[in-house]
């Protein structure tokens, strides 16, 4: 999937051409372009759904652009984030339906992403109605973050804690299924980035520990440079070369690591194998990785791309992957 946001526009002006070049080398590769309302008050989809004229114009332009660039489909983010009014939601569903008709006619793939905060899953059968007009629905089952206590971004299931956090991998999937999202269309998203925190007391490093007031985020990484977020290749270097302490949490089925007042919860081969098995055993459509550039792609800590390889091997026989 090609995710083209404002960062890529600045730093990778030729990213489109690079992806097309790669596809020429590997014709079986499917390239989907991600679009969405990433900026506050963007209103892209609601504007396109305001009237039938705007809807038709939007769908025609998107189809021409997708075909003209040689892409295989579209991944739509944040169309149903939050809780739009019923009238807005009806317009968005009509927009999606019209886009689906265009894409199906040309053999293109259409995917919608449901973020954790979506209200769609609180409406009986609404998820199923939306999924009538897409090939796949991605359920984001990560990104759950505490601001007072150290928490896991994607625990396997509900675990009791100071904040009584109910957001977890299993619940995200169950909510989607309850709203009518078909199993054969459901793709579950996992993140290769870890969530980092600064502890209030360095000696108290258990899950649920109090965070530093006013600055709960962890120190930025050398490469990601974003407080509170570390890529797996940064995390594994902490473990291998800087002797951070790794602990497996049996309740969350996830690891965490700590050193001094820094605390990180993340995915590793063990936790991702458990999540991939969960998806496979329930005959869901698959797993979406967000994103591959955060894996240990250089093999600094062991085999290259160990996280993606873990998921790949779990599904290799199911989908007859090469």
Q: Which residue, among 111, 104, 107, has the nearest Cα to 70 in the 3D structure?
A: 107
Question: If pLDDT is split at 50, 70 and 90, which confidence band does 8 have?
Answer: very low
pLDDT at 124 (0 to 100): 86
Per-residue pLDDT averaged across 233-237, rounded?
98
- Asked if pLDDT for residue 290 goes beyond 70, the answer is yes
Most confident stretch, 13-17, 24-28, 214-218:
214-218
- Asked if pLDDT for residue 6 goes beyond 80, the answer is no
pLDDT at 14 (0 to 100): 65
pLDDT at 123 (0 to 100): 86
pLDDT digits (tens, 9 = 90+) for 142-184: 988 888 999 999 999 887 665 545 589 999 999 999 999 999 9
Cβ–Cβ under 8 Å, residues 172 and 186: no
pLDDT at 69 (0 to 100): 82
pLDDT digits (tens, 9 = 90+) for 31-61: 898 888 665 445 778 888 888 999 999 999 9
Per-residue pLDDT averaged across 298-306, rounded?
97
Report the C-alpha gap between 117 and 135 in whole angstroms: 22
Per-residue pLDDT averaged across 59-87, rounded?
84
Q: How far is CA 170 from CA 46, 66, 78, 221, in A?
A: 31, 34, 21, 29
Token pair for 119:
């209200």
The answer for residues whose C-beta is within 8 angstroms of residue 206's C-beta and 6 or more apart is none
Report the C-alpha gap between 269 and 197 in whole angstroms: 22
pLDDT at 7 (0 to 100): 39
pLDDT at 9 (0 to 100): 42
The answer for residues whose C-beta is within 8 angstroms of residue 199's C-beta and 6 or more apart is 150, 205, 209, 210, 211, 212, 258, 261, 262, 263
Domain at 2-191+268-315, CATH class: alpha beta
Lowest mean per-residue pLDDT among 86-90, 189-193, 298-302:
86-90
- Asked if pLDDT for residue 305 goes beyond 90, the answer is yes
Provide the 10 A C-beta neighbour count for residue 120.
26
pLDDT digits (tens, 9 = 90+) for 20-30: 788 889 888 89
Report the C-alpha gap between 80 and 118 in whole angstroms: 6
Backbone angles phi, psi at 151, to 5 degrees: -130, 165
pLDDT digits (tens, 9 = 90+) for 101-119: 999 999 999 999 998 888 8
pLDDT at 5 (0 to 100): 43
pLDDT at 17 (0 to 100): 75
Q: Determine the angle formed by the axes of helices 269-281 and 169-178, rounding to 10 degrees.
A: 20
> Which architecture does CATH list for 196-265?
Roll (3.10)
Which part of the chain has CATH 3.10.50.10? Answer: 196-265
Supply the mean pLDDT for the chain: 88
Phi-psi map region of 111: left, alpha, beta (phi>0 left; psi -120 to 50 alpha): beta
Which part of the chain has CATH 3.20.20.80? Answer: 2-191+268-315
CA dihedral 263, 268, 271, 275 (to 10 degrees): 120
């Amino acid at each position: 999937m090609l995710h083209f946001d404002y960062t890529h526009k600045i730093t990778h002006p030729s990213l489109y051409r690079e992806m097309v070049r790669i596809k020429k080398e590997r014709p079986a590769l499917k390239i989907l372009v991600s679009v969405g309302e990433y900026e506050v008050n963007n209103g892209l989809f609601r504007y396109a759904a305001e009237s039938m004229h705007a809807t038709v114009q939007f769908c025609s332009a998107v189809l021409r652009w997708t075909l003209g660039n040689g892409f295989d489909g579209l991944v739509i983010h944040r169309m149903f984030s939050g809780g739009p009014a019923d009238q807005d939601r009806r317009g968005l569903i009509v927009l999606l339906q019209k886009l689906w008709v265009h894409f199906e006619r040309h053999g293109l793939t259409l995917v919608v992403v449901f973020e954790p905060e979506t209200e769609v899953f609180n409406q009986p059968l609404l998820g199923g109605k939306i999924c009538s007009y897409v090939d796949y629905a991605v359920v984001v089952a990560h990104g759950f973050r505490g601001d007072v206590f150290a928490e896991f971004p994607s625990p396997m299931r509900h675990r009791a804690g100071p904040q009584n956090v109910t957001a977890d991998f299993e619940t995200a999937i169950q909510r989607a299924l309850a709203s009518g999202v078909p199993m054969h269309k459901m793709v579950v998203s996992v993140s290769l980035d870890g969530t980092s925190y600064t502890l209030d007391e360095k000696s108290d490093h258990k899950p649920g520990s109090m965070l530093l007031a006013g600055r709960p985020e962890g120190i930025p990484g050398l490469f990601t440079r974003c407080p509170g977020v570390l890529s797996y290749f940064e995390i594994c270097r902490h473990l291998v070369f800087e002797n951070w302490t790794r602990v497996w949490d049996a309740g969350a089925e996830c690891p965490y690591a700590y050193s001094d007042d820094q605390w990180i919860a993340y995915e590793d081969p063990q936790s991702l194998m458990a999540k991939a098995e969960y998806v496979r055993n329930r005959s869901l459509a698959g797993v979406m990785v967000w994103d591959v550039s955060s894996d240990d792609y250089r093999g600094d800590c062991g085999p290259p791309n160990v996280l993606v390889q873990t998921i790949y091997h779990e599904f290799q026989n199911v989908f007859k992957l090469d």
